Amino acid sequence: MTIYQSSRVLTLWLCLSLVACNNTTLANTTSEPEVKLSTSGICHDSTNSFYERTKNYKPFTSMDACIDAGGRLPKGKVEQIDKATTEAIEQNRAFVRLYNRDDWPHWLDSDNDCQNTRHEILIQTSLKPVEFKTVNQCIVLSGEWYDPYSGDTFTISNDLDLDHIVPLKFAHGHGADIWDRKRKAEFANDPDNLILTELSLNRQKGAKGLDEWLPPNHPYRCKYIARFNAVMAKYELAYIATEQRIVNRLVKACQK
């Protein structure tokens, strides 16, 4: 496994109690960036004790972006990555193909009716009849959609992203890197793995798994966990051991 690939192994952290979990662990605040690149060149996220103490920094929306800009992980995070990488190799799940979003055809018009996957989901899930941008009814302009991630309702389609519950990049790193293009397209357009959510939450989630991100809307978290696991099972994707232990605890907490 290359250094580049090792840097992409997801760091593993999450509050294991759904009730006691502080929102600042799972969601960005409006005043602070997701990751701070300190003047010493270290990338700090909100789980790091130096995050609050770092006042002079360059902001980034993700750890990957900070690393790509030349930053480096704190010592503790490096140790976590090394552990995760070792587990992946031991389980014969270390991937060698780099992720490329272009390999995953998405928002297809499979039935040739001019409405791609995104707009068909917008039509199917709107709580009232939608309005289209043009008379050919290809592009949805407005409607009424409930976002379970935030608990808010939206009326303008451009305020929503169509999120992959199991992110494409996450799937790639958990067994899908060996799929052919047809299988990747099926996954990328599967309604079972799609949900409309506000733009900022989709950006915040990125390619994170259950061990790194849960919706800020607490009442929906257990359903989100169940849907994530259902997609993983449907496509025979596998968690590494460290992730599986966290997921097991989350599922157990939801059963109480």
Query: Are 40 and 54 contacting, i.e. CB atoms less than 8 angstroms apart?
Result: no
Q: What is the pLDDT of residues 236-251, one digit of tens each?
A: 999 999 999 999 999 9
Length of the chain: 256
Q: What is the pLDDT of residue 81?
A: 61
Strand-pair partners of 152: 147
Q: Band the pLDDT of 49: cuts 50, 70, 90.
A: confident
Select from 73, 10, 79 the least CA-distant residue to 36. 73
According to the model, what pLDDT value does residue 118 have? Answer: 96
Among the ranges given (10-14, 42-46, 104-108, 186-190), the one the predictor scored with the smallest mean pLDDT: 10-14
**Residue 144: count of CB within 10 angstroms of its CB:** 13
Kindly indicate the confidence band of residue 201, based on its pLDDT and cuts at 50, 70 and 90.
very high
| DSSP letter string, 42-111 | BEEETTSTTTTT--SEEEESSHHHHHHTT-B--HHHHHHHHHHHHHHHHTT----SPP-GGGS--S--TT
Average pLDDT score over the chain:
84
| CA distance linking residue 107 with residue 188, whole number of Å | 8
Whether the model clears a pTM of 0.85, i.e. scores above it, the answer is no
Point out the least confidently predicted range of 8-12, 83-87, 104-108. Answer: 8-12
Residue 142's DSSP bridge partners are 131, 156
Collapse the DSSP code of 228 into the 3-class scheme (helix H, G, I; strand E, B; otherwise coil) and give the result. helix
Pairwise pLDDT comparison (101 vs 190), residue with the higher score: 190
Residue predicted with more confidence, 248 or 78: 248
pLDDT over threshold 80, residue 30: no
Could you report the per-residue pLDDT of 62-74, keeping only the tens digit for each? 877 888 888 888 8
Indicate the helix (H) or strand (E) that contains 10: none
Lay out the sheet containing 131-132: strands in order across: 131-132, 140-147, 152-156
Q: Which of 26-40, 43-57, 165-179, 215-229 has the highest mean pLDDT?
A: 215-229
- Residue 76 has a CB neighbour count (10 Å cut-off) of 13
Structure confidence at residue 146 (pLDDT): 98
pLDDT at 123 over 90: yes
pLDDT at 226: 98
